[in-house]
Amino acid sequence: MSDEPGANRSEPPRRGLAGGRDRPPAADPATPAAVEALGLTVVRGGRSVLHDVALTVAAGAVTGLLGPSGCGKTTLLRSVVGTQARVRGRLRVLGLPAGDPGLRSRIGYVTQEPSVYRDLTIRQNLDYYAAVLGVPRRHRAAEVERVLGDVDLLDRAGALTADLSGGQLSRASLAVALLGRPELLVLDEPTVGLDPVLRRDLWRLFHRLADRHGVTLLVSSHVMDEADRCDRLLLMREGRVLADDTPDGLRRATGATTVENAFLHLVESGSEESEERGPR
């Protein structure tokens, strides 16, 4: 259990859909899990924000955390990186309890707000954060060059971050998170407000990091048309994980033609079952 860091169905759960709470759903028995949660609950201000969440995030893949604004995505991500208070349940990240000091250098976290100083250049920001992370001085310049190349910002390294476009600012924040070669990247709505071309380019970068470097990415979004850019999906609504499956698996399980329609099907099915059970 970590101090800091799916809806039950009346029929046996189909593969990939959130079902029993006795163990987190397995993405693939042959693939190790980067994140495992069981009975994860967060109560804030007297209101339950996460409800008995069970999930698994496969290592080395791009997992999308999709759901409407206010459904608990940010709270879940904060729980994973160990910055959310009053977390109950079991949550293990890279084999350790969430929030363990040993995870600090192994996780990169990008919040919705840019994590760079606007009055510094991109390179100056990266050099500063590399020092904070403890990258040895003799390796610091090479490390900064590496992450600049990873996010395709070498030609803008001397630019003030205040002068960057939205897409460049997102990539600069991502570069900070990549310092030190983290094993897990947790990205909170990194593509919000970007045009379709910039969104496409960022998703290509996410897959390049996973495919070439073996990084695990957990990426939140409220845009359902980004679902097919993910290897696997966690669909959330009102603090609950409705499904944990691949995009194709979700469509097959629900008989829907799109992930958005699959999401609506799950919501409607859950509402019907609640009505059948009646008030408690």
**Residue-wise pLDDT tens digits, 236-269:** 999 999 999 999 999 999 999 999 999 999 988 8
Q: What is the pLDDT of residue 20?
A: 36
Assess if residue 65 is contained within a domain.
yes
Q: What is the pLDDT of residue 30?
A: 58
Assess if residue 99 is contained within a domain.
yes
Query: Reading across the β-sheet that carries 232-237, which strands appear in turn?
Result: 107-110, 184-187, 216-221, 62-66, 232-237, 240-245
Report the number of distinct structural domains present in the chain: 1
Assess if residue 205 is contained within a domain.
yes
Q: What is the pLDDT of residue 215?
A: 95
Is the CB of residue 20 less than 8 Å from the CB of residue 13? yes
Assess if residue 123 is contained within a domain.
no
The whole-chain average pLDDT of the chain stands at 86
Q: What is the pLDDT of residue 195?
A: 82
In which domain, by residue range, is 215 found? 16-114+186-277
Assess if residue 141 is contained within a domain.
no
List the chain residues with pLDDT less than 70: 1-31, 270-280
CATH number at residue 241: 3.40.50.300
Q: What is the Cα–Cα distance from 105 to 102, expressed in whole angstroms?
A: 7
Q: Is this structure's pTM higher than 0.75?
A: yes
